[in-house]
Copies of this chain bind each other. A is one copy, B any other.
Amino acid sequence: MTDIVTIRGDLELLTRTEQLFSSVREEFVCAARDLETWSRPAARQVAGGRLRRGGTHRTRKLYSPSALADERGREHLGALADRGAQVRIAATALPHETIVVDRRCAILAGLPAPGGREYTLTTAPTLVGGVYALFEAAWESATDLDVFLRGEQPHLDAGSRTVLRALGSGATDETAARELGMSLRTYRRRVAELLAALDADSRFQAGMRAGELGLRG
């Protein structure tokens, strides 16, 4: 069975994958240490084209933190996210490029070598399944790009901290307002201000952010 193929050099990779990439049906996942491969002009065209064609498939990209090291990387990842890909950053070093298409075909990249970088393309269910499950595990525990990029700490005035404590206690607005000796309306105004300060769209999100930032009122 010829379900394992070794590819030598980027050029061969491109010609071989062009057709594959345009036939993605459901899912395209990719784990990589950096943006080296696909940020090159020729490759970009292929990969970009695939995304732009706006299939209904899901695209997931998982990178090491080092992919964000330079401005170019951040830009590129931002652009990917804008085009609908889910982008996450893992806590550790990842392989040099690993791709799984529709859970039936995997591509793994090796190290640069004389005569061109080596790639392995396989459709063996055992291999693809194993790689996919490992990817899934790594993905599951990685951080969303936007969360990763946000690290700032908004400073909150005394009032907001009181409100924060009340919210953290789990009380309803009514109880909290009574305890703080203010009207329901004012309390909610405070809450809205707090959400704005934390740049949160929902109370849950605000709580999460507060927790992450170690704010405790």
User: Would B110 and A126 count as touching, CB distance under 8 A?
Assistant: yes
> Whose C-beta in chain B lies nearest to the C-beta of A137?
B138
Q: Which residues of B contact A214 (CB under 8 A)?
A: 212
Q: By CB atoms of chain B within 10 A, which of A91, A135, A208, A217 has the most?
A: A208
Binds B, one of A41-49, A66-74, A196-204: A196-204
Q: Which residues of B contact A216 (CB under 8 A)?
A: 141, 143-144, 147
- Would you give the shortest CB distance from A204 to chain B, in whole angstroms? 4
CB-contact partner of A94 in B111, B134, B167, under 8 A:
B134
Separation of A93 and B211 alpha carbons in the complex (Å): 24
Q: By CB atoms of chain B within 10 A, which of A90, A94, A202, A213 has the most?
A: A202
Binds B, one of A9-17, A20-28, A168-176, A182-190: A168-176
User: Would A140 and B158 count as touching, CB distance under 8 A?
Assistant: yes
CB-contact partner of A137 in B91, B133, B171, B212, under 8 A:
B91
Separation of A147 and B205 alpha carbons in the complex (Å): 19
User: Would B207 and A206 count as touching, CB distance under 8 A?
Assistant: yes
Please encode chain A, from 151 to 188, with 1 for each CB lying within 8 Å of some chain B CB and 0 for all others: 00000001001000101111110000000000000000
User: Would A31 and B211 count as touching, CB distance under 8 A?
Assistant: no
CB-contact partner of A133 in B94, B142, B213, under 8 A:
B94
User: Would B127 and A108 count as touching, CB distance under 8 A?
Assistant: yes
Q: Which residues of A contact B (CB under 8 A)?
A: 4, 6, 31, 33, 90-96, 98, 108-111, 118-120, 122, 124-127, 129-138, 140-144, 147, 158, 161, 165, 167-172, 200-214, 216-217
